[in-house]
Amino acid sequence: MSVFRTAVIAALVLLTTIGTAYSADVISLPSADTWIDSDSSGTRYGAASTLLMGRDQSNALAMFQFDFTQPIFAGFSGSAVSSAKLYFFNDGQRRIPDANITITPFACRYAWNESTVSYDWVYMIGGNSISGFVDSSTAGQGTVHLADIAAVPFKSVVSIDITAIVQKWADGSLVNNGLMLMPEGGFGSQFAWTKEATGSDEVYRPYIEVNYSTAPEPGAGIALLTGLVGLVGVVRRRAK
């Protein structure tokens, strides 16, 4: 087979793979998770086996981090995210329903470490405000009522839509510092909790599911064809 024909075949194979868009549906455990409590504001819960969320006299806020640099998330950066959900299992509830209590996911504006983070630390870093620690651009998106979570049967899965946040992580408009589930409204004594990602009961750990698609690189095919044209010229000159 001639050098020219070999080059043409190789180029055609590459053109079918380079710059090709594809879709991925990826499930992953959090890389870190914890919770903070306004009533025990200096306590660090990174080593706890469960995560709490809700409010009574205090606020309990669950926090999660996700590692999108894992090989399973290949092509995530700059991708188009069609859906992203956080799933956790209702491992128990303390029920005094208040229809006004909601849980809303917010992206964290600052990096945090699950072994050292506490309510006091978040409050300080947020400028003496918990709301100052999170990004408000997706406020209201993905909000669920805590009463609906508490109504889910014991050990059943609950989902929270975090698409708006993950889309911003993918397009780079927000730095991925994880997210916080923030309780708002109401005054009832109500909590829901789930196992931690590092907990021993693996079946009931929280997880994230992300569906995204990559865009083809528009210059890849052009660059390859340009190189092929140059190669043709070289081969032809050598043949003379």
Instruction: Give pLDDT, residue 231.
Output: 36
How would DSSP label each residue in 168-213?
HHHHTSS----EEEEEES----EEEEEE-TTSS-GGG--EEEEEEE
Q: Is 12 exposed, middle or buried (0-12, 13-18, 19+ CB in 10 A)?
A: exposed
CA 51-53-58 angle, to 5 degrees, is: 120
Q: In what order do the strands lie in the sheet with 23-28?
A: 23-28, 207-213, 80-89, 157-161
Angle, nearest 10°, between helix axes 3-15 and 218-239?
180
- Using an 8 Å Cβ cutoff, are 114 and 63 in contact? yes
Element (H, E) at 235: helix 218-239
**11 three-state secondary structure:** helix
Which residue ranges make up each domain of the chain?
Answer: 1-20+218-240, 22-215
Give this prediction's pTM: 0.78
pLDDT tens digits in sequence order for the chain, 240 residues long: 443 343 333 333 333 444 567 788 999 999 999 999 998 999 999 988 888 888 776 788 999 999 999 998 988 998 899 999 999 887 766 655 566 778 899 999 999 999 999 999 999 999 999 999 999 998 878 888 877 776 777 777 889 999 999 999 999 999 999 999 988 876 666 667 777 766 566 677 889 999 999 866 555 444 444 443 443 333 333 334
